[in-house]
Amino acid sequence: MQSDEIRSKFLKFFENRGHKIIPSSSLIPENDPSVLFTTAGMQQFKPYYINPKNADKDFSNRNIATIQKCIRTGDIDEVGDATHLTFFEMLGNFSFGGYGRKEAITYAHDFIIKELGLEISFITFYKGEGVVPRDEESRNIWKELGVKDIREDGSDVFWGPTGDSGPCGPTTEIYCKNVDNQDVEIWNIVFNEYFCNGSRDKLDKGEATLKKLDVLGVDTGMGFERLLSIVQKKKSVYETDLFTPLMQFIQKNSTNDNERSARIIADHIRTAIFITAEGVIPSNNGRGYVLRRLIRRFLRHSTSLKLLKEFWIGLVKIIIDIYNNIYLGIREKSEYIIKIFREEKEKFKKSFDKIELYRLDLEAVKLGLIKKIGNMPIIKNNGIVSGLYIYQNYQMYGVPPGLSIAVAKGLGYKVDEKEFDDAFKKHQELSRTASAGMFKGGLTEMSEETKKLHTTTHLLNAALRIVLGNHVMQKGSNITNERLRFDFTHPQKMTEEEKKKVEDIINEKISEKLPVSFIEMPKAEAEKIAAHAFNEKYGDTVKVYSVGDEKAGYFSREFCGGPHVANTAELCSPSREYSRDGGPFKIQKEEAVAQGIRRIKAVLM
């Protein structure tokens, strides 16, 4: 059964049962500033759960069905496995007092079994907690329908609210077997019986309350791509008919076989197309920042697959062909989408200039034009590429070693990867750290972006000690191209005022254009000036990185192996004016990860 047929079956099924079919709303929520993108099918209908009579006026019906475009980027690092996507479609039926549990559950049961020919593996229902009672009614309905495996569950089957507040309630979830005989949740039926005056995070922390709504609302959601993988008996969403044309195109036009990179490209370009079609352009803020991340990630992964320079034009055309009859008007925007992607590619290309220089150096060696750069041989006497040279390029210029190795092998060279590993391990020994400044090997990728965020962790560590006190010690870090994660000791949640002070200090230091430098010195001497380092094993000689200078006073001095920017001015985009209120550093989240350990996630905008 193909995707178009399943779409048609779903809408016809509910239309025959008195539902009005409503087209997908925009990916940009019109009346919900609390979220960047539409993340669920019910988002456009939130007001009707609170004022159901308005549905009579707007739809002439209290029962609705729709297929909604959605974007969720919270699990972006998981994309590339069998199930995670950033863009997906949500099949859903909704009722604002038109019907209750019995009808909602029966509809779902009949569609899965009678229309799709699937078997229900088991279902869940809410066990009850606090003011919300155990959902015995749902349990009994499933039992009457003949389902044998009925399981109670806790907070995982209480859904919502989306955003800062809204309707929410207990759910019942439907699980079916996939092709590997694993249980997969395919449909979630929410009974919106309550209004929450805060976010889900606040509700879980006891900082928000629930109020019973006058009318029971029904909100169901079924992830389309996941459903397809079940119906079509595929091991992955990327094997369904929505993705096979994309995957085949990528495989045909690449010389390297990397399935995860191919999946990331297929997912990210699809999402970027739909975001761009909404009028969003790449930027360093909000939705534009998300779009920029997606475009640059698929461009980065295209390098490892050796795809043609503008391979993505072919993918844009394939994706538009797939969705043109579903989301009308997208074809008319194809040239605009290509233009935006091309402009962003040119901006991103500068990040790859250094790796291209390395490629040219290797080709020059092959032609006998050069043998080494400075005092460092590019190729060793045995004809093998120097791993130490690759490490030096990473250490001094932030050139990603993985890309350097791939370039060398692509030119037919063998690489002394052990030499690189040994140099990098030595670097890690020097840079094993904690709160005072030593970076704990947290770079997941080596690039200009991670180098900037690495330097930012030093500013963050120092700023936290100024605002919170000298008890603050770094307990770990993780840095990707998009964000930094920083764990530190502190006994309580930071206040909004404290977070703002930390942001202001860091943005001020960025605006002051402070130099960043390092010196190597005996460990015993370094411990006297880099007092924030925690107990780790180091060699007799260590590096100490400093932000600021001796004359004006150092802002930060920490044990670290690098790499770092040369000046804090590099942490700010040239297009952004230096100001404390509008600086590039922004804390996105602060949370507890263990007793007495807090975690900050932050970005450079």
Lowest mean pLDDT among 166-170, 243-247, 307-311: 307-311
pLDDT of residue 474: 83
Lowest mean pLDDT among 36-40, 315-319, 342-346: 342-346
Query: What is the rounded CA–CA span in Å between residue 61 and residue 39?
Result: 24
Architecture of domain 432-604: 2-Layer Sandwich (3.30)
Query: Contact at 8 Å (CB) between 510 and 449?
Result: no
Per the structure block, which two tokens stand in for 133? 């009672």
Cβ neighbour number for residue 453 with a 10 Å cutoff = 28
What is the pLDDT confidence band of residue 215, given thresholds at 50, 70 and 90? very high
- Report whether pLDDT(530) > 70: no
Helix (H, G, I), strand (E, B) or coil at 5: helix
pLDDT digit string, tens, across residues 464-516: 999 998 778 787 888 888 889 998 878 788 999 999 999 999 999 999 989 88
Query: What is the rounded CA–CA span in Å between residue 39 and residue 24?
Result: 12
**Which is higher by pLDDT, 537 or 524?**
524
Per DSSP, 111 falls in state I
Query: What is the rounded CA–CA span in Å between residue 564 and residue 443?
Result: 12
Counting residues of the chain whose pLDDT is more than 90, the rounded percentage is 47
Query: What is the rounded CA–CA span in Å between residue 580 and residue 511?
Result: 8
pLDDT of residue 290: 87
Q: Mean of the pLDDT values across residues 315-344? A: 90
- Report whether pLDDT(159) > 80: yes
| Structural element, H or E, at residue 484 | strand 484-489
Q: Is the dihedral of CA 284, 288, 290, 296 positive or negative?
A: negative
Q: Mean of the pLDDT values across residues 150-162? A: 86
Q: What is the mean pLDDT of the chain?
A: 85
What is the pLDDT confidence band of residue 326, given thresholds at 50, 70 and 90? very high
State how far the alpha carbon of 205 is from the alpha carbons of 107, 202, 209, 308, 459, in Å: 35, 5, 10, 50, 30
Query: What is the rounded CA–CA span in Å between residue 425 and residue 514?
Result: 29
pLDDT digit string, tens, across residues 40-68: 898 889 889 999 999 998 899 999 999 99
Distance, C-alpha 266 to centroid of its chain: 15
Residues of the chain with CATH 3.30.930.10: 3-231
Query: What is the rounded CA–CA span in Å between residue 266 and residue 315?
Result: 8
Q: What would the CATH number be for the domain defined by 3-231?
A: 3.30.930.10
pLDDT digit string, tens, across residues 434-450: 333 333 445 656 678 88
Residues of the chain with CATH 3.30.980.10: 432-604
pLDDT of residue 104: 97
Cβ neighbour number for residue 288 with a 10 Å cutoff = 15
Query: What is the rounded CA–CA span in Å between residue 206 and residue 211?
Result: 14
What is the pLDDT confidence band of residue 580, given thresholds at 50, 70 and 90? very low
What is the pLDDT confidence band of residue 371, given thresholds at 50, 70 and 90? low
Per the structure block, which two tokens stand in for 391? 């490490």
> What pTM, to 2 d.p., does this model score?
0.59
Query: What is the rounded CA–CA span in Å between residue 421 and residue 454?
Result: 20
pLDDT of residue 434: 31
